Amino acid sequence: MDLPIDHFRLLGVSPSADPASILLRLQARSDSPPEDGFTHEGLLQRQALLRRSADLLTDSIARANYEAALLSLSSSHPNETVGLDLAASSEVAGLILLWEAGAAYEAFQLARQGLQPPQAPALGSGREADLTLLAALACRDAARDEQQQRRYESAAQLLREGIELQQRMGKLSDQQASLQQELDDLLPYRVLDLLSRDLSDADARQRGISLLDGLVRDRGGLDSDGLYVDAPVASMGQADFESFFQQIRRFLTVQEQIDLFCGWLAEGSIEAGCLAVFAMAAAGYSRRKPEFLEQARDQLQQLGASDLDPMPLLGCLDLLLGNVSEASLHFSAISDQELLRWLAEHPGDHLAAQCEYCRAWLERDVLPGYRDVDAAGVDLDAWFADRDVQAYVDRIDRQSARQNLSTTVSEAGLRSVLTADVSSLQPVDPDKDPSISDELDSLDVASIGSSRRLRLVVASALVGLMAALAAAVMLRPRSTAPLTLQLELERQESGERKPSIKDPTTLRPEATLQPEISQVNPELQPLRSDVPDESKLRMLVQGWLDNKALTLQGQPSQLPVVARQRLIDRVDQQRAKDVAAGNTTVVKAAVTSLDVVSRQPRRIELKAQVAYRDTTTDQSGIVMDRTEPTSLTITYIFGRDGDQWKLHEYLSK
């Protein structure tokens, strides 16, 4: 066989060693054979090869010829290894010496090759026993060499090959168990090796994620109190595991972490649930996707017992979603007295303190630890100015407003049904009673909608009396005067036509919504009073509504007089979006009532009822979107910029 080693390396001496040093080295090697269980025959062959090398290197003429041959071969084959030709009978001894010389990988590959057909030894022979043992020892050392080079996955592959070979040979169960333990201990390093590779190496990363997932599940989760005996890394304590996991997280993308944490949460890991909340928040902020923040908030509210106080986290998430009132409630419920004191003593108003805490929370606790997320430079103004964020918040506001309106009307209808005298209800034919037609003509859109909803309530409660109850509800006496219908489009120059119910969308209740946007006061002045009364605050809110509506229609406005630049930018971006789409949004809004929630020297919080509707049309005047007349509950927060009061934030429910 060809053994990839020269006489100097085989004996373990340097090329400049003198004969005396060579003989001393021979004596030392002869007196210390490997004590791993090789056969006596194999050790005798080893001794013979050592003496053969010593004889050659101590003979001056033979050594000179050998060194000349080495030099010539090295010159003609610079990238190849000079080897020795051995007889087949010396195979085992040569591989043992190759392994002892530090060439464990080559020794393992040659030993494995010698155990396979057609070179396979006879069953039960000494050659089979020596080659099997040598393969196990060389495999172990070769894997350790790879670990020193931080090629952990390559080391694992070698160990798997060695284990498979031992299983096939059916011998040396202790060596097989030793290799398996080496492979198990290597698991954390393999995960690190695979996940630290480039993101383009998808196969390697997927193997790393699978290994990490299996590691955590086998040990009982992230927050396992004790070690599982059968876990692959049973020797890794909780402290060591936490250190390893913190190191490994920075190689995972935010989506990879979300998937892993949600999977471990399903297995009952509360710690994974908390980490999932942070990962969803990081994904939502970094990608400008409020949907992820809403998922994080819902996930946090569903978590069971935990050492983590959820209130500041819920406050930050609600703040990022524009839920200022809910955020304030959560911040006020924080159990950490030191944090409460910091918020109270922070310069500026409460909202400014909450925003500062939220910014620090994102930068310190949420964004670090992901491969694809930049944790520096958190900018809440940029977040709220983002078009996708604004669109999401506006959509949620509209859905909430419509839901509240539907709930209010349904509750009112239900109360009417419950208070109706069912026994007095009789079927009525509108065609035979002209008074019914007159009554129908006097109904407004809200009445028509309420009657339809009432009929559905009656149908579910009293199926047999549906027709009679519906008619009776529609015709029951009113405790107040009916609302007057006015047409939006069909107007005469000298007056208004008779109301029509052919197109209910053209009808609106006069009592609930002003017909037009109030004319913007051309002399709108900044509000500088130290303690503004409710009338001045109401003018400020209405000024915001009127000027916002004008801006959305592309008309000049005085928004800088009533609002901060951040809110003005939001309106401008909404207008720019409409212009890009060729649309125009007409908003009609009016304050119907206003209450002061809290008043401080530099902060005033108001809760207002606003009658609202809007229509979005394209360039040809076709209606693309419409919000029907409704009443919104909006919280306005005004702050003092210098000596002037301006709108800082608002929240629509």
Tokens of 152: 């952990």
DSSP assignment letter at 644: E
Place of tokens 């041959």: 69
Distances (CA, A) of 444 to 414, 502, 504: 19, 12, 8
Q: Alpha-carbon distance 584 to 314, whole Å?
A: 36
119 CA to centre of own chain: 56
How far is it, in rounded angstroms, from Cα 278 to Cα 299? 10
The pLDDT assigned to 291 comes to 93
DSSP secondary structure of 560-619:
HHHB-HHHHHHHHHHHHHHHHHT-EEEEEEEEEEEEEEEEETTEEEEEEEEEEEEEEE-T
- What 3-state DSSP class applies to 640? strand
H-only helix segments in 462-564: 466-475, 534-552, 559-562
Residue from 401, 351, 239 nearest 648 by CA? 351
> Who's near 602: CB < 8 A, 6+ residues apart?
348, 349, 639, 640
Mean pLDDT of the chain: 80
pLDDT confidence tier of residue 428, bands split at 50, 70 and 90: very low
- Read off the tokens for 178: 């030793």
Question: Measured between alpha carbons, how far is 491 from 13 in angstroms, rounded to an integer?
Answer: 112
Provide the whole-model pTM: 0.56
Residue 201 CB neighbour total at 10 angstroms:
12
Per-residue confidence band for 236, with pLDDT thresholds at 50, 70 and 90: confident
Question: How confident is residue 421, by pLDDT bands cut at 50, 70 and 90?
Answer: very low
Predicted confidence (pLDDT) at residue 316 exceeds the cutoff of 60: yes
pLDDT band at 309 (very low <50, low <70, confident <90, very high): confident
* Contact status, residue 526 vs residue 644, Cβ threshold 8 Å: yes
pLDDT of residue 473: 34
Higher model confidence: residue 453 or residue 594? 594
- Domains contained in the chain, CATH given: 2-190 (no CATH), 197-392 (no CATH), 408-509 (no CATH), 534-652 (3.10.450.240)
Give yes or no for residue 14 having a pLDDT over 60.
yes
- pLDDT at 232 (0 to 100): 60
Distant-in-sequence, close-in-space partners of 302: CB < 8 Å, separation ≥ 6? 273
Buried-exposed string 293-318: b where 16+ CB fall within 10 A, e elsewhere: bbbbbebbeeeeeeeeebbbbbbbbb
Say which range, 303-312, 506-515, 574-583, has the weakest mean pLDDT.
506-515
DSSP 3-state assignment of 73? Answer: helix
For residue 482, the model assigns a pLDDT of 34
